């Protein structure tokens, strides 16, 4: 005899999330639904006198197997959209018919079977399980050990990628870069005019021409660079005796607001 | 209500898993369908163990669990190897597996 409330709880907790396997779009949602199914099955095991198996179910399935599924999903890429083109015409309906037929067949067979339930209550706690496992089934237990080791080694072999070329050292990488025409020294720093936060102003070479490479490429892409002309003009202004000299180091107001993009509020 | 109702539940879960294997193109999702089928078989085994008041059904379920764990390890390794080779895990792609 089993508790009726337990049965319906387990039935709802397993059948509804498992339908996600067929209807849900995102693989991560499916994996989490299957986790729920596993927990429901564990509850069923505990309710049917198999507490050890219920615990193993939670540890092995929800803890290890489904988390490994999630790892692989993340590794492969969650956004890997499923291809919904049908290579076999009407495969969807054939599959539904086959699965439905299987369900009907199984239920018919189960309904037809006659069983004589024995009375008596047996509880599969770890002690009882161990007594049976290590007396009657000890050989199977050993074979399962082999199986697990083989599976672990097999996974290692399958996912191992041999290195085809020797690893390149840093010296070799540097030599290759120079040979390809890269500048062997650092790029010059930006910002010759110390009037504001001058990462957006190119440095000047000894002849006074701006060096375009000295400004970060990101700023160029965002059109946030300046050519430094207005700063040069200001410097020349302060050199001019007619002009009232600004206090040294005081930032000029318009040069600070000028470098924000148009339409963008200065923070 | 006897434990037989759990066997019916197992049959339904098995059919859902089979439908997922037949329908889905994503290898990982199809693989989850296989897992659901294994678990449905486990549920039936535990239900029978409960009906007959014997531990052997539970032991069998335990073995199925261990074999399923080993199978998942190898299966996911194959999926990763497949993904590395052709950047997809769609089951329609590896057409050269055809005999």
Q: Which two tokens stand for residue A74?
A: 């993340």
Q: Would you state the pLDDT for residue B12?
A: 94
Give dist(CA A125, CA A266) in Å, integer. 69
Closest Cβ–Cβ partner in B32, B56, B62 for A30: B32
**Residue A2 to residue B88, Cβ atoms within 8 A:** no
Q: How many domains does chain B have?
A: 1
pLDDT band at A246 (very low <50, low <70, confident <90, very high): very low
With CB atoms and an 8 Å threshold, state whether B22 touches A95.
yes
HSE of A159 in the Cβ direction (CA atoms, 13 Å)?
A: 15
Contact (CB, 8 A) for B5 and A8: no
Check: CB of residue A157 under 8 Å from CB of residue B76: no
User: pLDDT (tens digit, 9 = 90+) per residue, A178-216?
Assistant: 888 877 777 777 766 555 566 777 777 777 777 777 777
Q: What is the pLDDT of residue A266?
A: 46
Q: Inter-chain contact B73–A73, Cβ cutoff 8 Å?
A: no
Q: How confident is the model at residue A55 (pLDDT cuts 50, 70, 90)?
A: very high
Q: Choosing among B4, B7, B10, B22, which should be mutated to test the A contact, i.e. which has the most A CBs within 10 A?
A: B22
Higher per-residue pLDDT: A200 or A258: A200
pLDDT score at A238: 61
Residue labelled with tokens 């309710």: A47
Q: Region A172-176: what's the mean pLDDT? A: 87
Lowest mean pLDDT among A89-98, A237-246, B85-94: A237-246
Q: Which of B5, B46, B51 sits opposite A50 (nearest CB)?
A: B46
DSSP label of B26: B
The residue among B90, B57, B31, B9 whose CA lies nearest residue A65 is: B31
Of residues A231 and A219, more confidence is placed in A219
Which pLDDT band, with edges at 50, 70 and 90, does B98 fall under?
A: low
Q: Output B73 or B95, whichever has higher pLDDT.
A: B73
Q: What is the mean pLDDT of chain A?
A: 80
CA atoms of A32 and B84, how far apart (whole Å)? 25
Minimal Cβ distance to A144: which of B9, B58, B66: B66
**Taking 60 as the threshold, does the pLDDT of residue B5 lie above it?**
yes
Q: How many CA atoms lie within 13 Å of A122's alpha carbon, on the beta-carbon side?
A: 22
Token representation of residue A153: 């080694």
Residue range of the domain that includes B32: 4-97
CATH class given for the domain over A1-77: mainly alpha
CB-based contacts of B58-63 (< 8 A; 24+ apart in sequence):
B58/A50, B58/A52, B58/A53, B58/A124, B58/A129, B59/A129, B59/A132, B59/A133, B59/A137, B61/A45, B61/A50, B61/A53, B62/A53, B62/A56, B62/A129, B62/A133, B63/A137, B63/A140, B63/A144
Whether residue A37 and residue B9 make contact (CB cut-off 8 A), yes or no, is no
Q: How far is CA A182 from the centre of its chain?
A: 35
Do A21 and B36 make contact, defined as CB atoms within 8 angstroms? yes
The distance of B99 to chain A (nearest Cα, Å) reads 17
Q: How far apart are CA B43 and CA B33, in angstroms?
A: 15
Query: Looking at the partner chain, which of B54, B73, B76 has a beta carbon nearest the beta carbon of A152?
Result: B73
- Where are the domains positioned within chain A? 1-77, 125-159, 187-258
Average pLDDT over residues B73-78: 92
What pLDDT shows up at residue B6?
A: 93
Summarised one tens digit per residue, pLDDT across range B39-60 is 999 999 999 999 988 899 999 9
Residue B51 backbone class (left: φ over 0; alpha: ψ -120 to 50; beta: rest): alpha
Residue B87 belongs to domain with CATH number: 1.10.287.3510
Q: Residue B56: its chain A contacts at CB < 8 A? A: 132
> What is the reported pLDDT for A204?
74
Neighboring chain B residues of A27 at a CB cutoff of 8 Å: 26, 28-29
With contact defined as beta carbons under 8 Å apart, do A76 and B28 qualify? Answer: yes
Interface ipTM: 0.90
Phi, psi angle pair for A159, to nearest 5°: -95, -5
């Amino acid at each position: 005899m089993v508790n009726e409330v337990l049965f319906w709880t387990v039935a709802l907790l397993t059948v509804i999330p498992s339908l996600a396997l067929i209807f849900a779009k995102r693989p991560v949602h499916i994996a989490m639904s299957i986790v729920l199914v596993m927990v429901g099955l564990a509850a069923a095991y505990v309710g049917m006198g198999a507490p050890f198996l219920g615990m193993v179910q939670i540890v092995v399935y929800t803890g290890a197997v489904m988390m490994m599924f999630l790892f692989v999903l993340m590794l492969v890429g969650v956004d890997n959209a499923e291809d919904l083109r049908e290579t076999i015409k009407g495969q969807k309906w054939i599959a539904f018919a086959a699965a439905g037929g299987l369900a009907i067949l199984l239920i018919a067979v189960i309904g037809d079977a006659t069983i004589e339930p024995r009375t008596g209550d047996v509880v599969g706690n770890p002690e009882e399980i161990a007594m049976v496992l290590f007396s009657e089934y000890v050989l199977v237990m050993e074979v399962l050990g082999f199986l697990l080791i083989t599976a672990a080694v097999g996974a290692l072999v399958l996912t191992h990628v041999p290195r085809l070329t020797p690893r390149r050292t840093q010296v070799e990488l540097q030599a290759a870069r120079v040979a390809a025409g890269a500048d062997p020294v650092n790029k010059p720093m930006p910002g010759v005019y110390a009037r504001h936060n001058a990462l957006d102003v190119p440095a000047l070479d000894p002849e006074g021409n701006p060096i375009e490479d000295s400004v970060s490429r990101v700023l160029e892409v965002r059109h946030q660079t300046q050519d430094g002309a207005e700063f040069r003009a200001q410097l020349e202004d302060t050199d001019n005796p007619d002009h009232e000299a600004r206090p040294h180091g005081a930032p000029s107001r318009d040069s600070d607001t000028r470098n924000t993009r148009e339409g963008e509020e200065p923070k | 209500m006897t434990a037989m109702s759990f066997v019916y539940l197992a049959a339904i879960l098995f059919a859902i898993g089979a439908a997922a294997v037949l329908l889905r193109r994503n290898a990982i999702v199809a693989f989850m369908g296989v897992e659901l089928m294994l678990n449905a078989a486990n549920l039936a085994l535990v239900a029978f163990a409960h009906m007959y008041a014997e531990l052997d059904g539970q032991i069998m379920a335990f073995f199925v669990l261990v074999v399923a764990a080993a199978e998942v390890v190898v299966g996911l390794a194959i999926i990763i190897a497949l993904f590395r080779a052709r950047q997809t895990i769609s089951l329609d792609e590896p057409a050269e597996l055809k005999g």
